[in-house]
Amino acid sequence: MSTIRRRDFVKLAGAATALGAAGFPMLSLGAATARVVVVGGGFAGAIAAKYTKLYAPEAEVTLIEKDKEYISCPFSNEVLSGERDIKSLTFNYSALGKRGVKVVNDEVVELDPAKKTLKTRGGKTFQADFLVVAPGIAFQWGAIPGYDEAASEKMPHAWKAGPQTLLLKKQIAAMKDGDVAIIAAPANPFRCPPGPYERAAQIAHYLKHHGKAKSKVLILDAKDKFSKQGLFMAGWKHNYGDMIEWKSGAEGGKVEAVDPKTMTVTTEFEEYKAAVVNVIPPQKVGPIAEKAGLTDAKGWCPIESASFESKKAKGVYVIGDACVAGAMPKSAYAANTQAKVAAANIAAAILGTKLPKPAYTNTCYSLIAPDYGISVAGVYTIGAEGTIVEVQGAGGVSAADLSIEGRKREAVYGISWYKNITRDTFG
């Protein structure tokens, strides 16, 4: 490599681009040695690693993820109802390894977006030519007075699946008939917008079928409306009668403080005591993105709509829940298609081919009961102002007048969605 002089490279580039390629940004490195490092192995990062390798097998793709196993948030509400166990939500990275992705089990503690260098807790250093940052979310501890990490051991968030999910499940199982479970839902933006409302249904499902039909689930919300609202409310009623109550922000639903010692939740007008309090706290980007200076004034990562390249650093791509993706929600499917756009752009840059036209979608199912599913879909494009917007006339939620048989069909397709998206990600 180093024996080739620059002017020879120009000749080489000319030969390569004769095929119609747009440029030769990586040719000076040699396509065979382009180094792509992905930080974070969730629904965004794992897909970015896999599809970069599919698009550009010549690239050296490294995935750095702190956990050996990934426990998915999608479908973790079903663990609460007992319809699913946590093992069915647990995935590893061996299939990505077989696809040629170098999987490093370590945590990135330093990231220099300008130099594209990384350091891990384990003391390893990495140099990337392209960097993909997919750190997901972290919690704003203390944003709700009284709710810090220690409080989450009594009032679980269960918004990252794993021990927290099992803790909440245990608490729900210990409820007496007539006890109340509170879900404190955050303001936008947050991970998985329909999640709190599906959770209410899954908790009610458990209570209804375990001799606790006099119990209630009370959602105290910071918002005045929520994802798939009409469908959720109709579905709650159909399946659980009056077991689920939703209090909007305007009705005083916003939680202003909690006290885990007394299991008290304080809102603007009232104080509630409950057997179970599930606090879904306000969220922020995974700390490494903030530390690396990839965030904007609002604390999330601004990106170029066509490529997911950071607006803060060239050659650095931010995908998934951490990025600001216009109208796209912070969902697994959104992350999946964002990662593929980033992967295609990186591959095109490595191989010197034309940058592809981006395509992104979201499809997200919520299970209100095992045989009652609802969905939201969105197809996205770049709008007049350069941000990602929904294609007009497409997308939206399930038909309001869909038959019961249709809802059952959506439940079946929801489970299918889970099988396929996790296989696409970790298979």
Quick one: 294 or 303, whose CB is closer to other proteins? 303
Residue 123 makes contact with other proteins by CB under 8 A: no
Tokens coding 143: 């944003």
Quick one: 166 or 377, whose CB is closer to other proteins? 377
Closest CB 141 distance from other proteins, rounded Å: 32
Q: Which of 31, 166, 233, 263 binds other proteins (CB under 8 A)?
A: 31
Collapsed DSSP state (helix, strand, coil) of residue 423? helix
Candidates 130, 78, 180, 68; CA nearest to 344 is: 130
Collapsed DSSP state (helix, strand, coil) of residue 353? coil
CB 106 within 8 A of CB 38: no
Please give the Cα distance from 301 to 269 (Å, whole number). Answer: 35
Residue 359 makes contact with other proteins by CB under 8 A: yes
Q: Which of 4, 29, 174, 250 binds other proteins (CB under 8 A)?
A: 4
Which burial class, exposed, middle or buried, applies to 290 when counting CB atoms under 10 A from its CB (0-12, 13-18, 19+)? Answer: middle
Long-range contacts of residues 380-387, Cβ cutoff 8 Å, at least 24 apart: 380/326, 380/327, 380/328, 382/305, 382/306, 382/358, 383/326, 386/305, 387/305, 387/326, 387/327
Angle at 88 between CA 186 and CA 160, to 5 degrees: 25
Closest CB 2 distance from other proteins, rounded Å: 10
Please state whether beta strands 216-221 and 180-185 pair in parallel, antiparallel, or not at all (unpaired).
parallel
Quick one: 356 or 383, whose CB is closer to other proteins? 356
Size of the site for other proteins (CB under 8 A): 68
**Among 8-16, 169-177, 298-306, 308-316, the segment contacting other proteins (CB under 8 A):** 8-16
Closest CB 317 distance from other proteins, rounded Å: 15
Q: Which of 347, 367, 368, 369 binds other proteins (CB under 8 A)?
A: 347
- For tokens 């329909």, what's the residue? 194
Please give the Cα distance from 391 to 393 (Å, whole number). Answer: 6
Residue 49 makes contact with other proteins by CB under 8 A: no
Closest CB 136 distance from other proteins, rounded Å: 17
Count of Cβ atoms closer than 10 Å to residue 253 Cβ: 22
Closest CB 355 distance from other proteins, rounded Å: 9
Q: Which of 82, 282, 356, 383 binds other proteins (CB under 8 A)?
A: 356
How close are the terminal C-alpha atoms of the chain, in Å?
A: 35
Residue 424 makes contact with other proteins by CB under 8 A: yes
**Among 29-37, 107-115, 219-227, 288-296, the segment contacting other proteins (CB under 8 A):** 29-37
Q: Which of 198, 325, 352, 366 binds other proteins (CB under 8 A)?
A: 352
Site for other proteins in 310-339 (CB under 8 A): 332-333, 336-337
Q: Which of 39, 44, 45, 51 binds other proteins (CB under 8 A)?
A: 51
| Type of residue found at 219 | I
**Among 161-169, 216-224, 249-257, 417-425, the segment contacting other proteins (CB under 8 A):** 417-425
Tokens coding 10: 């120009």
CB 334 within 8 A of CB 321: no
Please state whether beta strands 244-247 and 216-221 pair in parallel, antiparallel, or not at all (unpaired).
parallel
Residue 187 makes contact with other proteins by CB under 8 A: no
Closest CB 47 distance from other proteins, rounded Å: 9
Q: Which of 341, 367, 368, 388 binds other proteins (CB under 8 A)?
A: 341
Please give the Cα distance from 39 to 110 (Å, whole number). Answer: 11
Binding letters toward other proteins, positions 383-412, x by CB under 8 A: --------x-xxxx-x---x---x--xx-x
Q: Which of 205, 228, 330, 340 binds other proteins (CB under 8 A)?
A: 340
Quick one: 14 or 142, whose CB is closer to other proteins? 14
Residue 375 makes contact with other proteins by CB under 8 A: yes
Residue 56 makes contact with other proteins by CB under 8 A: yes
Please state whether beta strands 117-120 and 125-127 pair in parallel, antiparallel, or not at all (unpaired).
antiparallel
- For tokens 């999946």, what's the residue? 336
Please state whether beta strands 137-139 and 283-285 pair in parallel, antiparallel, or not at all (unpaired).
antiparallel
- For tokens 């192995």, what's the residue? 41
Residue 130 makes contact with other proteins by CB under 8 A: no
Q: Which of 37, 42, 55, 130 binds other proteins (CB under 8 A)?
A: 55
* DSSP structure string for 366-396: EEEETTEEEEEEEEEEE-TTSSEEEPTTS-E
Binding site for other proteins (CB under 8 A): 1, 3-5, 8, 12, 15-17, 19-21, 27, 30-32, 51, 54-56, 58, 332-333, 336-337, 340-341, 344, 347-348, 351-354, 356-361, 363, 375, 377-380, 391, 393-396, 398, 402, 406, 409-410, 412-413, 415-421, 423-424, 427
